[in-house]
A and B are shown apart, each in its own frame.
Chain A
Amino acid sequence: MQRITCIGLFFFLVFLSCSSHKLAADHSLKSVYQYKEDVPNPNSDLASKNFNLSQQTFEELLEALQNGDNQLFKQAFLAQANDVISNLKSKYKAEHNDAYDAFLDTLLVFRSRMLDGKVSYGNLRFLLLQMSSQHYLRMVGKKTDELTETAMEFLQDEEDEKPYNEQQLEALERAFKKLNELCSELLLLNYYQGLKLSAIAEKLERSPDAVRKQKERCKQSLIELFNKEYHE
């Protein structure tokens, strides 16, 4: 009797804990963000394929991203977390943590591909689901032939980039923090935001040649600082 009571108490507590998390998540996910007045009809086919973003808002999002502003991207794409995670769980019986990691990793790749100009308005939802599937399958070491060519292209791009080890990245981060403001902005705009030197020159109101030389100096400073910071 005592044992049954304890088991009952255990499951009740687990249920209580789970339901409080689910409630919080449901409330947040119901809030499909709304964008200005140009939000297309959410019932329209094209809108539903593109997270209810109009083409204009997508272009604005891309422009903001290129200028180093991640807010719109974050607002639009984090809202898809439940959709993507649920898809991975139902399609591949993915564990929650694996699906969660696959979603965040995919989002980073998605952002990067958008900056490279490789993502266009059309069916963003399908692409995100495909990419997250491919990322998940690769993560857990499974193979599939059901992915589209586009998704495979992304996979190839991702495979080309090998990760550096943690200690080296930490040293690079410390080195980056020691750069002066101009250098950190310039390197970030060029290497992380993907802005061309001509665009940076315009933004910083300098000549393209001066920016190119400055970038080289900044790069060398970063390498010197890294060499001082990193000890094997």
Chain B
Amino acid sequence: MNDLKKNLNSSDPNIQDLAVQQGIKQVFDKKLRAEWANDLQMQYGLQKEEPMATEAIIEMKPKGKVISMRKWMAIAASLLILVFAYQWFMASGPSIQEQANIYAFADQPIHPGAVKGGETLSENYTQALVAFNEGNWKSAFDGFKSQVPMTAETAYYAALSAFQLKNYPEAINLLTNNVPEESVYNQERKWYLATALILNDQVAEGKEILSQIKTGEWKYAEAQLLLKSKD
């Protein structure tokens, strides 16, 4: 095992520098690993299995004593309680709106920086784009909304800005009326429209859109999990 204290206080600047680097890396790797483990559990249902109690392992060995009827009953009862507790826990989990809120704001949307179709960016559009990527949603919204003519792309980014401002009625309006289903944004449109509707207390309409997200489409897993959440 390395001695961090010794290395950090070394008179050799190279050793000291390496110690700072490795120390910081190990601290932040640990945090990142915990974050990923949490995401694996939340998004993919993957987690470590709980180790079985040593006593139970010993008793289950074929060479050991025959487990008494009472112990079998106790195991079955414990499992039954666990299953009911699991079901209860799932039922008392976050509501569809809480869950939608978590999913919708988990990642900050980013504009890739190029207009589909390779058109030249106007100064006004560029300012809106920069504001969008900086999370300056009000400026981004005003900038995209003022584009003439309003294309599916500008409407989509205006809607996303409105969404980030929690102006769900405006986001719903733009996504419904200005981003056509046949546009290249259709998969994103469905996800944001559904979550905006849910967060705007139009849960039934939101779920209807969620059910239209097909296997393999963007946010399919999240859509399925939302559909399973309680209203």
Using a CB–CB cutoff of 8 Å, the interface residues on chain A facing chain B are 2-3, 6-7, 9-10, 13-14, 16-17, 20-22, 24-25, 27-34, 36-37, 60, 70-71, 74, 78-79, 81-82, 85, 96-97, 100-101, 104-105, 107-108, 111-112, 161-165, 168-169, 172-173, 176, 187-188, 191-192, 219, 222-223, 226-227, 230, 232
**Contact (Cβ within 8 A) B2 A162:** yes
| Across-interface contacts of B107 in A (CB, < 8 A) | 71
Q: Contact between A27 and B187 (Cβ–Cβ < 8 Å)? A: no
* Given known A29-B44, A82-B44, A191-B24, contact A17–B49 (CB-CB < 8 A): no
Residue pairs across A and B with Cβ atoms less than 8 A apart, 11 shown, are: A10-B72, A28-B45, A78-B39, A105-B33, A164-B3, A169-B23, A172-B23, A188-B28, A191-B24, A222-B20, A223-B8
CB neighbours of A232 from chain B (8 A):
5
Interface of A is mostly: helix
The listed residue (A25, A36, A60, A173) touching B44 by CB distance below 8 A is A25
Contact B46 A164 (CB under 8 A): no
On whether A164 and B44 interact (CB within 8 A), knowing A176-B27, A223-B16, the answer reads no
- Contact of A13 with B37 at beta-carbon distance under 8 Å, contacts A34-B217, A169-B23, A187-B24 already known: no
Within 8 A of A (CB), among B1-46: 1-5, 8-9, 16-17, 20-30, 32-33, 36-37, 39-40, 43-46
A-B contacts besides A10-B76, A187-B20, A192-B25, 16 pairs, CB < 8 Å: A3-B72, A13-B76, A13-B80, A24-B45, A28-B43, A30-B220, A36-B112, A100-B47, A108-B33, A112-B29, A163-B26, A165-B1, A168-B3, A176-B24, A187-B24, A191-B20
Say yes or no: A31 contacts B187, CB within 8 Å: no
Find the residue from A7, A169, A176 having the highest chain B CB count within 10 A.
A169
Cα(A37)–Cα(B22), bound, Å: 39
Identify which of A30, A100, A108 contacts B29 (C-beta below 8 A).
A108
Contact with A along B57-88 (1 / 0, CB 8 A): 00000000000010011011001101100100
Q: Are A30 and B46 in contact (CB under 8 A)?
A: no
Which residues on B sit within 8 Å (CB–CB) of A27? Answer: 45, 221, 224-225
